[in-house]
Amino acid sequence: MNTRVTQMLGIEYPVIQGGMAWVAEHHLAAAVSNAGGLGLIGAASAPAEIVREEIRKAKELTDKPFGVNVMLMNPNAEEVAKVVIEEGVKVVTTGAGNPAKFMPMWKEAGVKVIPVVASVAMAKLMERGGADAVVAEGMESGGHIGSTTTMALVPQVVDAVDIPVIAAGGIGDGRGYAAAMMLGASAVQMGTRFVLADESIVHDNYKEKLIKSKDIDSEVTGLSTGHPIRVIRNKMTREYLKKEQEGASLEELEMLTLGSLRKAVIEGDVVYGSVMAGQIAGMLKKKETCAEIIQDVVGTGEALLRGER
Ligand code: TUI
């Protein structure tokens, strides 16, 4: 496989793993990279020294390139940004904000910078700021989302920038891969499908919740607070949405969700925890290795692009 993104990153297949909070730790990142994609360690809200340890552990498990996702709402983002350079990480993706203030130091250190964007305006701003590529992430994604669908966002971003575009949101199999490539993407980023990977440390309750979920079980909380988060519906989201409709205060809503992702991913509390997942969760039916996932997505996707059905 040869695209602008595989060339830039030195990877075999144009598949990038999402930098999912609590999920994207060293085992998953290394497994995706060993399978020929680009694995990512999701720094999320972790302290910088934990991220450093994760990077070192990933290096023990793979010689292939892997990256770090810097979540910009993290109060420790600046320290994480420096750790990435100190540890010689070659690729950074960013999410949930504007990485402009870190761009010069990353570029100077030779790090490839790939901001995740949810709009054309942000994509153009990132290109002007020196980004090497962008991930155009549609609102089908799990977690923190924008408001445009992948189908509409990707071609508009492709038209607006000259740097390569990686499509994300609602891509979970070869059909999604082929569609994204037809929209002009040079690679895809997938999150939810990798949650079900054998190498993913996510609690089995969480994996089973995804396998049982249907198309209509996806819900967005926090639209009123300006922090929309896509999750699988459960007792917590029902309470949240009820409180949100009643005009509850930001503090009250935050109380409901505080630490709730960890509760679901690590403790397996899928009733009161936050089960973040994209809209394609309904089509996922089994657990498999990262290598099987990538081979299926790229194999089926490339066959479709060649016109084989
Ligand atoms: O970042 C994500 N998805 C995430 S981060 C996350 S951790 C979290 N947990 C609880 C509450 C909040 C966050 C879970 N899922 N995706 C990438 C992404 N970035 N989607 C949308 C954006 C984005 C949004 C605004 C990028 C830039 C942006 O710019 C705003 C600005 O600063 O102008």
pLDDT per residue over 83-115, tens digit each? 999 999 999 999 999 999 999 999 999 999 999
Determine which residue's CA is closest to atom 11 belonging to ligand 1. 144
> Mutation test of ligand 1: which of 41, 125, 135, 144 has the most ligand atoms closer than 8 Å to its C-beta?
144
- Residues of the domain holding 268: 214-276
Q: Which of 24, 1, 28 is nearest to 14 (CA)?
A: 1
The answer to whether residues 260 and 158 belong to one domain is no
Ligand 1 in reach of 48 Cβ (< 6 A): no
Which atom number of ligand 1 is nearest to the Cα of residue 69?
1
Cross-strand pairs, 70: 94
170: number of Cβ within 10 Å: 21
Distance in Å, CA 85 to ligand 1 centroid = 22
The answer to whether residues 156 and 173 belong to one domain is yes
The answer to whether residues 22 and 72 belong to one domain is yes
Q: Give the chain's domain count.
A: 2
DSSP letter for each residue of 99-166: -GGGHHHHHHTT-EEEEEESSHHHHHHHHHTT-S-EEEE-TTSSEE--SS-HHHHHHHHHHH-SS-EE
The answer to whether residues 40 and 184 belong to one domain is yes
The answer to whether residues 48 and 171 belong to one domain is yes
Summarize pLDDT for 32-85 with one digit per residue, the tens.
Answer: 999 999 999 999 999 999 999 999 999 999 999 999 999 999 999 999 999 999
152: number of Cβ within 10 Å: 12
SS3 state at 66: strand
Distance in Å, CA 191 to ligand 1 centroid = 14
Distance in Å, CA 53 to ligand 1 centroid = 24
Which pair of structure tokens corresponds to residue 74?
């993290």
pLDDT band at 1 (very low <50, low <70, confident <90, very high): confident
Residues in the chain: 309
For the domain that residue 42 is a member of, what is the CATH number?
3.20.20.70
Q: Which of 169, 210, 166 is nearest to 184 (CA)?
A: 166
Contact 155, 184 (CB under 8 A): yes
Q: What is the mean pLDDT of residues 162-191?
A: 98
Contact 186, 161 (CB under 8 A): no
Distance in Å, CA 299 to ligand 1 centroid = 31
Distance in Å, CA 214 to ligand 1 centroid = 25
Ligand 1 in reach of 54 Cβ (< 6 A): no
Q: Where are the alpha helices (DSSP H) in the chain?
A: 4-9, 26-34, 48-61, 77-86, 103-108, 120-128, 150-160, 174-182, 192-195, 204-212, 235-245, 250-257, 260-265, 290-305
Q: Which of 93, 82, 97, 87 is nearest to 20 (CA)?
A: 93
pLDDT at residue 254 greater than cutoff 90: no
| Residue 133 belongs to some domain of the structure | yes
